[in-house]
Amino acid sequence: MSWISRAVGVFRSGRLNRDLDDEIRFHLEARIEEYTSEGLSFAEASARARREFGSPALVRDASRDIKLLPRLDAILRDVTFAIRLWRRNKLVVGAALVSLSLAIGACTAAFSLIDAVILRTLPVDDPSSLIYVALRAPDEPRDALSFNYPLFREMRAASARQVRLFAVSDQAKREAAFDDTAYAEKVYAQWVSGDAFAILNVKPALGRVLASTDDINPGQHPVAVLSYDFWRRRFGGNPAVLGRWVTIREKTLQIVGVAARGFTGVEPGIMTDVWAPTMMWDDRAIADPDTRWFRTWGRIQPGVADEQVRTVLQTIFTTFAREKVALRPEESQDRLNRLLNTRVHLRSAATGPSGLRQNFAVALWTLAAIAALVLLIAAMNVASLLVARAAARQREMALRAAIGAGRGRLIQQALIESGLLALASCVLGALLSIVVTPRLVSMISTSGTTVRLDVQPDWRVLAFLGAMAVFVTFVFGLAPALRASAASPADALRSGGGRHSTAVNSFRPLVASQIAFSFVVLFVGGLCLTSFVKLLRTDLGFDPDNLALVNITASTTGLSQEQTLPSWIALVERLDQTPGIDAASFSRWGLFSGSGRNKTVRIPGRPVDGYTPWYMPVSPRFLRAMRIPLVAGRDFEWRDVRPAVPTAVIVNESFASRYFPGESAIGKRFVRVDAGAALVDQEVIGVVKDAKYTDLREPAPPTVYEPYQPQNAAVLQVRTRLEMGALVATLRGEVPRAHAAFRLGDVTPQSTLVANHLVRDRALAVLSAFFSLVAGVLVMVGVYGLLSYSVVQRTREIGIRLALGAQSSQIVTLVLSGIGGVTLAGLVIGGVGAAFAGRFMTTLLFEAERAGIWSIAAPLLSLLAVCALAALVPARRAARIAPTTALTIE
């Protein structure tokens, strides 16, 4: 046993060992003093004192054993006793364990994710003074966050005394070529103002960070800074990375530094690999007030109120808007008012205005609520199981109290047992969450922007849930212990049927609320699932299957379109002729790729309204490759593409009916208004069916397809039955043959791009289905427990009834009637809860308001089925009770 005491000694060693040492030292010192006062030298005195004392270490160990062993022994006895009890109640304990660990694991996983995405603040100094600027037009439900550079520049200059503004581009995966390899790789790059690092107070770990001097003239500051993580991952932390070159978006940048460890970028949850100055983004975009491509952040100067900052920015914005509107006097009063009435808002950036957060916040909170409900259901399961078992142990408890077990001992025993149960479920739950969390992350990441959250299993959450598990198990384990120790033993030892029925009564409400909670969980799960299925079945207007999107870039910049256009045409022509390929075309970007463009149009004889239709630059055969049906007119031909300023356009039905209601759109002419008020004449040559552009949930927008003249990049649409591998092999041959400067980039199925828009819904659907399943299992266990227990307890009664000639069916009815009321109550309460949950869910889900009767009926019926299934075994057992065994009981 002494190794155990030492093991425990490790934990408790602190005070106990110190006390023992002090006591021994005191003795030796007193003895040495005595001897030195008798005339011995200090050395002789201490040697003699030690000799007479014996080994201090042995004395200390002996004393420690004496002090610790009795306590340890009691704990060990309780532990082995608890385990012995568990063995006798495998089913009950197993069910409790499964319930708790499932709930703990699922909740820990869910909360780890929520914490990473929503709660964790930016890894920068004083995040509370950080803001980002949002624009909100009247009657617009959402903030607009994207800014154009000219406006930003004016805002920054005018408000410098109140706030230090900086620009942060939207983050995306980009192709980057480092000079140590011939291959391009994907990195998360972000273009930021030069002084962003200074404002955020992020220091370099190596070299330097960007400075405001890196951000003055468009295209003149070819520098980049790596994140610490990326530096370690990609370059093994090699300091020689400084001075290397990386090419991103056609710009070659020199690596000048590595940002401090821990700074992963301004968007929590999304890690940045490379930062470059905004001036290196795009020379044209810097000057273009129509290109919105970054967010505006800022740190409010000390002592300045938010409202002061807002007022300044609002003034600048309104002036800017007025000038912009003045340039286009022909535009409607509507649009003017809209712009002028747009309000500037400052939003706290403490946790970052993550797109991830906007997309997932509601979904994640919903999941959290579901997880919490499941946790409650599990807790109730454990509670009712423990209450049932405790009732069965009433006599044993009373017996132990009778033979002198003190209240303290009984409570200690209950505590140890619940602690063990909670500990075991925490361990299992932690394992579960370690397995589940990365899967959750991969479920919400999309192929374009894989979400690299730095998610660690959240130990705080686990600890909290563990504590809750201990609490639940302890409360319900303790109550019977207290009752037993309070009751007079003689009383308790009498076989007390009355007590048993109180036990059943006390966990009847538990089972009812379990059913109610599961109803809500199942209802929400069903809504998420149907919404997801509806989204899957949404008519896109094009056929995403068997369609590959091929990214091609021309590596040499400065090629004019006269030089490359024939090569682009040759490429798709040749692909179009390739066996196995049904159609090939190119466009500026893919549908559902996240890119898109809106333009103002002026229709002769119509007032200009605020609406800006969508534009999609494409080649001939794009519509055929996408399988967007032509309704009238004709498709593009190459001759439509070749002119210096193409005029032919094809519009969709929504566009036609919006701008040319009640007449044929073919042959109609209108004007596209470009940046700088440049005007381009366009003529409708064809009308196509509606196809969705970037949003699966909204109806297809009015869209104009116009001829595309690629310069340095295009996306090919290849409709093919070929395997991906075979297609890529063909492309490897054809792409360089078309033009030596052409480079093959990503090949992505169009269906993947569409599926990426369903990620949140898929995650929500799968997770809520998973939670529904868990809830169903938990309810089954709960109902089974209740009925089994009541059958055991009424064995004698049932036996008598059978002996008196009752039919099996009557017995079954008797048993089932015990659960009927509970189920009914649970379903009614659950229905009310579901109604509330449903109202909240409509904002989150696709066409949830059209969910219909099945959204209530499905969970109702499945819960009834679950209850019936759970009742089956105990009911059959009751019907088979032999009257004789029943009568001999007790």
Partner 1 sequence: MARHEAFQGSLPLLVLKILARRGPLHGYGITARIHEATGAELRVEEGSLYPALHRMEEGGLIKAKWTITGNKRRARVYEITKHGRERLDLDEKRWVAVNAAVLRALKNA
Give the interface with partner 1 as residue ranges (CB under 8 A): 19-20, 22-24, 26-27, 29-31, 52-56, 58-59, 62-63, 66-67, 70
Nearest distance from C-beta of residue 64 to partner 1, angstroms? 9
> Which lies closer to partner 1 via its Cβ, residue 19 or residue 582?
19
The residue length of the chain stands at 890
* Shorter beta-carbon distance to partner 1: residue 52 or 681: 52
**Residue with smaller CB distance to partner 1, 24 or 825:** 24
* Type of residue found at 868: A
Q: Which residues pair with 547 in a beta bridge?
A: 719
Quick one: tokens of 340? 């002028």
Residue nearer to partner 1 on the CB measure, 31 or 335? 31
What distance in Å separates the CA atoms of residue 429 and residue 375, rounded to the nearest whole number?
12
By DSSP bridging, strand 679-688 and strand 648-652 are parallel
Instruction: In angstroms, give the least distance from the CB of 71 to partner 1.
Output: 10
Which spans in 328-458 are helix H? Answer: 333-340, 355-392, 394-402, 407-444
- Residue 124 Cβ vs partner 1, minimum distance, rounded to whole Å: 50
Judged by CB, which is closer to partner 1: 49, or 145? 49
Of 404 and 852, nearer to partner 1 (C-beta) is 404
> Is residue 201 classed as helix, strand or coil in its secondary structure?
coil
Q: Which is nearer to partner 1, 55 or 128 (CB)?
A: 55
Residue 677 is given by DSSP the state G
Which one, 51 or 87, has the nearer CB to partner 1?
51
Min dist CB 19 to partner 1, Å, is: 7
Amino acid at 390: A
Rounded Cα–Cα distance for residues 708 and 332 (Å): 29
Nearest distance from C-beta of residue 409 to partner 1, angstroms: 17
The residue among 359, 372, 433 whose CA lies nearest residue 761 is 359
Distance of CA 158 to the CA centre of its chain: 39
Nearer Cβ to partner 1 (30/327) = 30
Tokens matching residue 403: 């033979």
Which residue, among 185, 169, 167, has the nearest Cα to 177 in the 3D structure? 185
Amino acid letter, residue 890: E
Q: Output 16 or 559, the one with its CB closest to partner 1.
A: 16
At 728, which amino acid appears?
V
> C-beta of 1: minimal distance to partner 1 in Å?
15
Helix H or strand E encompassing 313: helix 306-327
Q: How far apart are CA 454 and CA 122, in angstroms?
A: 12
Residue number, 69 or 747, with CB nearest to partner 1: 69
CA 410 – CA 404 distance, rounded (Å) = 10
Complex with partner 1: residue 30 or 857, whichever CB lies closer? 30
**Cβ contact 589:172 at 8 Å:** no
* Closest C-alpha among 720, 717, 747, 712 to residue 732: 747
Answer whether 470's CB lies under 8 Å from 379's CB: no
Question: Using the 8-state DSSP alphabet, how is residue 762 labeled?
Answer: H
Closest CA relative to residue 614, chosen from 548, 538, 672: 672
CB proximity list for 164: less than 8 A, separation 6 or greater: 195, 199, 298, 299, 301
What's the min distance (Å) between Cβ of 55 and partner 1? 7
- For partner 1, give the closer residue by CB, 29 or 723: 29
Smallest separation (angstroms) from partner 1 to the CB of 18 = 10
* Residue 26 CB, nearest approach to partner 1 (Å): 5
Query: Shortest approach of partner 1 to residue 406 CB, angstroms?
Result: 15
**N-term to C-term CA, the chain:** 42
Closest CA to 630 of 693, 499, 541, 716: 541
Measured CA to CA in angstroms, residue 757 lies from 444, 532, 761 at distances of 10, 11, 8
- Rounded distance between C-alpha atoms, residue 212 and residue 874, angstroms: 76
> Angle between the 854-879 and 759-793 helix axes, to the nearest 10 degrees?
30
DSSP 3-state assignment of 178? strand
159-196 burial: b if 16+ Cβ within 10 Å, else e: beebbbbbbbbbbebbbbbbeeeeebeebbbbbbbbbb
CB 189 within 8 A of CB 272: yes
C-beta closer to partner 1: residue 22 or 125 = 22
What's the closest the beta carbon of residue 72 comes to partner 1, in angstroms?
13
- Least Å distance, CB 57 to partner 1, is 10
We find the least distance from the C-beta atom of residue 524 to partner 1, in angstroms, to be 58
Taking the mean position of all CA atoms in its chain, how far away is CA 665? 46
CB closer to partner 1 out of 25 and 322: 25
Q: Which residue, 31 or 743, is less far from partner 1 as judged by CB?
A: 31
390: Cα within 13 Å, side-chain hemisphere = 30
Pairing of strands 679-688, 630-633: antiparallel
- Angstrom distance (rounded) from CA 425 to CA 93: 11
Closer of 71 and 721 to partner 1 (Cβ): 71
